[in-house]
């Protein structure tokens, strides 16, 4: 007779109480997940989150209350969850999981890692750390009513980075408000500004500088003090942007200088934000009108495909504000406008505001046509979706810990039932991609760039860190001399940053060995020199996975063959042997590498691609844009 502890077999219940698990993220999914874990019987939990609690979190992150605003999410989540189960042993870290102290050895302390994150960079990093530590990872995400849970295990399943990801459509609020780095950040900000001035105000769509940005301090007390400075009980008193604008009569000059001068000057006082970023440049209305020509345009073709100058967008901002003010007045007191990309005044406003902000943050401005195509609808965060996904994470965790790994699935939560009338659609886990530049036996990638125009700093920041998700890369040129191009040791190669790649003999066919010791990750980069990249494109990754660069000189090729790096798409015999060993050890717990049929529907896992598409378009994230 099977002995039960609650609803679980005694053996499994004992395993839960003894195992040590890590939860990364204590936001929308994280709150639900932590509650589920302690109520299921997990006793040893560690949770890490860099973020602090904002007023806008309180409608769905139920572990937090008004009095907690400004405090550490991880710490408050721990305190709240202990009320469900006082005997649980929970450790909370108010920190970034990308901090070097959370290294491979740290990850090896856990039997299981569960992600509840809201950004791709951290997801990529945790994926690599779990691969390096050979620890199972349960990945998850939500986007409105859509959700997904999957299991990642080294050597047996796809890793998080095996498949190319669509452009991220959700971003942390502090990125939108403080440190935009892409045009889409400025477009989202401009849409929020429209609602703050003319539409329905939403605490999740604040546009003023975020003084509680977690990057500003590593001291939780300082962050809490700033966030609660206006009211000790945590009830933040916010001045309505719309009320302020009305009090000025929607004066375009005052609006302009407040948004593009005063707020930017305030951001500049947050000096920690600009130590490794280019600082923004404030705009002044009178100076722009004196110095620039409003008729300045770039580009040819239709009017919507032209890019105006700063003065032109300043005038467009002024005209659109006047038009929208009149439209709002015509509707009467208490009226609101609804942003619609097909409404010319609304589109003029967003185009002008977004481009002015792009210019301030040193980005190339975009045409009205480009902005209209990028300005899609903002996806709301749904508390119920978070709850469903958190429950599915625990179910997958139970399968892993009970040894029923063959039952693990990727599970999609759909907005509408599929033809079989199911909202939850399980699919078989796919095996690793042989061409993945992260989990392949010999990760390799090909990058097309202009070696005479690409700076070493751009290689480090834009290609290795931003594109390939590295944290502290070291780069060595495979030139027979072992030239160190980039070192993660501070100051060691700083003098190289302002030099071009060609200054170090890098040319068409050169190969760079890149190591990130924190992630225990090595990547071979093949360089293709190209002088005819598209306008504003600094580099391209060739193909979805590594392609071969032209064959280097024979001596270099001999060296690469000896190192087993000649063809990453074909693992060496030894690496296949390692994969087999991994399979064996995981199979002893019931795992299978082959593609399984969908246990629920009987459909082959090839169907997964169709099921995957709706979520892929909105793949990111737990909390949407300005929520967390």
Q: What is the pLDDT of residue 13?
A: 87
The conformation of residue 431, written as its DSSP 8-state character, comes to P
* pLDDT tens-digit map of 525-553: 999 999 888 877 889 998 644 333 333 33
CA dist 392 and 426 (Å) reads 11
Which of residues 607 and 147 earns the better pLDDT score? Answer: 147
26 is in an annotated binding site: yes
- Percent of the chain beyond pLDDT 90? 50
CA dist 121 and 288 (Å) reads 37
From 108, 111, 93, select the one nearest 16 (Cα to Cα): 111
Q: What is the pLDDT of residue 1?
A: 61
Lowest average pLDDT, out of 63-67, 130-134, 140-144, 533-537, goes to: 533-537
Catalytic-role residue among 31, 174, 186, 427: 174
41 is in an annotated binding site: no
pLDDT tier at 447 (50, 70, 90 boundaries)?
very high
Region for 301 from its dihedrals, namely left if φ exceeds 0, alpha if ψ lies in -120 to 50, beta otherwise = left
Q: Is 174 a catalytic residue?
A: yes
Query: Among all chains, which residue has been given the structure tokens 């299978």?
Result: 592
Which of residues 398 and 336 earns the better pLDDT score? Answer: 398
pLDDT at 449 over 90: yes
CA dist 511 and 527 (Å) reads 6
616 is in an annotated binding site: no
Q: What is the pLDDT of residue 136?
A: 95
pLDDT at 595 over 60: no
162 is in an annotated binding site: yes
Q: What is the pLDDT of residue 612?
A: 39
* pLDDT tens-digit map of 472-486: 999 999 988 889 999
Mean pLDDT value across residues 257-279? 89
CA dist 226 and 294 (Å) reads 41
pLDDT at 236 over 50: no
């Amino acid at each position: 007779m099977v002995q039960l502890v609650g609803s679980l077999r005694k053996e499994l219940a004992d395993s839960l109480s003894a195992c040590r698990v890590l939860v990364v993220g204590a936001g929308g999914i994280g709150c639900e997940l932590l509650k589920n874990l302690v109520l299921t019987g997990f006793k040893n939990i560690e949770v890490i989150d860099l973020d602090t609690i904002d007023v806008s979190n309180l409608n769905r992150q139920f572990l937090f209350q008004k009095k907690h605003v400004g405090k550490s999410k991880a710490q408050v989540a721990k305190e709240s969850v202990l009320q469900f189960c006082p005997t649980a042993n929970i450790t909370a870290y108010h920190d970034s999981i990308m901090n070097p102290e959370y290294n491979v050895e740290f990850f090896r302390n856990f039997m299981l890692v569960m992600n509840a994150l809201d950004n791709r960079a951290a997801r990529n990093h945790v994926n690599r750390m779990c691969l390096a530590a050979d620890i199972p990872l349960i990945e998850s995400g939500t986007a409105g009513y859509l959700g997904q849970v999957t299991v990642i295990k080294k050597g047996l399943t796809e890793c998080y980075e095996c498949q190319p990801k669509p452009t991220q459509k959700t971003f942390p609020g502090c990125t939108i408000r403080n440190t935009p780095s892409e045009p889409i950040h400025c477009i989202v900000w401009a849409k929020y500004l429209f609602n703050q001035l003319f539409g329905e105000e939403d605490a999740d769509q604040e546009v003023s500088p975020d003084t509680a940005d977690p990057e500003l301090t590593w001291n939780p007390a300082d962050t809490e003090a700033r966030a609660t400075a206006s009211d000790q009980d945590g009830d933040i008193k916010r001045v309505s942007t719309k009320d302020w604008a009305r009090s000025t009569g929607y004066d375009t000059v005052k609006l302009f200088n407040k948004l593009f001068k005063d707020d930017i000057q305030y951001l500049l006082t947050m000096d920690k934000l600009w130590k490794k970023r280019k600082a923004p440049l404030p705009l002044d209305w009178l100076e722009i009108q004196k110095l620039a020509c409003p008729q300045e345009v770039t580009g040819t073709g239709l009017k919507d495909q032209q890019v105006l100058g700063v003065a032109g967008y300043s005038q467009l901002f002024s005209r659109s504000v006047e038009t929208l003010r009149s439209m709002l007045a015509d509707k009467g007191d208490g009226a609101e406008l609804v942003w619609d990309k097909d409404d010319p005044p609304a589109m003029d406003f967003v185009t002008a505001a977004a481009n002015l902000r792009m210019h301030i943050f040193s980005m190339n401005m975009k045409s009205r046509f480009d902005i209209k195509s990028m300005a899609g609808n903002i996806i709301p965060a749904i508390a119920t979706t978070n709850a469903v996904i958190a429950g599915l994470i625990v179910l997958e965790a139970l399968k892993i810990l009970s040894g029923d790994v063959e039952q693990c699935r990727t599970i999609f939560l759909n907005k509408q039932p599929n033809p079989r009338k199911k909202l939850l659609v399980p699919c078989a886990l796919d095996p690793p991609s042989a061409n993945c530049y992260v989990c392949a036996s010999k990760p390799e990638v090909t990058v097309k760039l202009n070696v005479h125009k690409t700076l070493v700093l751009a290689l480090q920041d834009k290609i290795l860190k931003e594109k390939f998700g590295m944290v502290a890369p070291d780069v060595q040129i495979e030139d027979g001399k072992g030239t160190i191009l980039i070192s993660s040791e501070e100051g060691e190669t700083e003098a190289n940053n302002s030099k071009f790649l060609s200054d170090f003999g890098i040319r068409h066919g050169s190969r760079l060995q890149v190591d990130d010791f924190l992630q225990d990750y090595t990547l071979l980069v093949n360089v293709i020199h190209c002088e005819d990249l598209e306008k504003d494109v600094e580099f391209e990754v060739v193909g979805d996975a590594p392609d071969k660069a032209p064959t280097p000189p024979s001596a270099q090729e001999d060296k690469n063959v000896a190192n087993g790096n000649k063809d990453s798409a074909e693992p060496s015999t030894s690496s296949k042997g390692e994969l087999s060993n991994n399979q064996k050890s995981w199979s002893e717990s019931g795992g299978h590498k082959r593609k399984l049929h969908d246990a629920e529907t009987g459909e082959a896992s090839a169907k997964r691609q169709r099921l995957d598409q709706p979520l892929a378009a909105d793949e990111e994230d737990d909390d949407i844009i300005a929520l967390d």
